[in-house]
Amino acid sequence: MKVQLQDITVELSGRPVLSDVDLEVRAGEVVGLLGPNGSGKSTLLRTIYRAIRPRDGVVQLGDLDVWRSTTREVARHCAVLTQDNVTEVELNVLDVVLLGRIPHRSLTRRGAGDDIALARHCLAQVDALHLEERMLPTLSGGERQRVMLARALAQQPKVLLLDEPTNHLDIAHQLELLSLVRRRGVTAIVALHDLTLAAAYCDRLVLLEQGRVVSVGAPDEVLTPERVAAVYGITCDVLVHPRTGRLLLALTQAESPAKEPVE
């Protein structure tokens, strides 16, 4: 399913957060959102899943106008993994994943048994099936993140939105999660801080700075040393992974200008 944003402007407490953002994500494409803290990545995702209404602009999922539709209608097409997942809900893991079936239950004849089978399949995909009877508050941060991804997958979405999905995950599960997103074949928009992971797993990248899109394109087009230095204020050497051929970024703190000696 294609995602299209046209002239998106968002203001929060009178302060501009996004300004005139245009973006088209093709069906089945994995697009990474990059930028420093406060650049507007999370806000952009929230305009798509109806958490923040833009002051101006249109958000479309295929032919569906997000802000002229209901939350339930959007949830039938779009699933979300956010940074601020609720952790104190007294439900076991299997019941949490089953919450992903709520948008579809009135539209299908699938019984509870089918929903449970799907939920367990999604837990297995994120290496969390062994947690199904555990209560959500007892899980580690990484375990909760995997369970919430399973819940999103249980929605069987055409569009998957992920806001810093690798938070709390160890390195192996970071790679597994992003590889799983690619294998699903759904349209995915992923906000990331790790530039090398973004280059390795995303088809295209969108670089934001102070609420504006400064670059869109393939990883090697967006992540140039000059652009990374300008947006992040760091020194960047772009290398090539010896096995995958993807970009590797060696990042170092920008050197401060040498001080004049005091006479």
Boundary of a domain, candidates 217, 233, 248: 217
Residues 6+ apart with CB under 8 A from 202: 30, 31, 32, 190, 192, 219
In a domain? residue 224: no
In the structure encoding, which two tokens stand for residue 234, read together?
């760091």
Bridge partner residues of 59 (DSSP): 5
In the structure encoding, which two tokens stand for residue 83, read together?
């940074």
Instruction: Please count the other Cβ atoms lying within 10 Å of the Cβ belonging to residue 239.
Output: 11
Distance of alpha carbon 110 from alpha carbon 83, whole angstroms? 31
Query: How open is the CA angle 122-32-71, to the nearest 5 degrees?
Result: 60
- Give the chain's domain count: 2
Query: How open is the CA angle 46-51-53, to the nearest 5 degrees?
Result: 90
In a domain? residue 202: yes
Residue labelled with tokens 């005091």: 262
Q: Find the domain containing 137 and state its range.
A: 87-154
CATH code for position 19: 3.40.50.300
In a domain? residue 55: yes
CB-facing half-sphere around the CA of 79: CA atoms within 13 A:
25
> Phi then psi for 154, rounded to 5 degrees?
-65, -20
pLDDT of residue 112: 72
DSSP per residue, 161-191: EEESTTTT--HHHHHHHHHHHHHH-SEEEEE
In a domain? residue 222: no
In a domain? residue 225: no
Record the pTM. 0.91
Q: SS3 for 85?
A: coil
Q: What is the pLDDT of residues 171-188, one digit of tens each?
A: 999 999 999 999 988 999
pLDDT of residue 107: 47
Which of the residues in the chain have pLDDT under 70?
Answer: 85-88, 106-111, 256-263
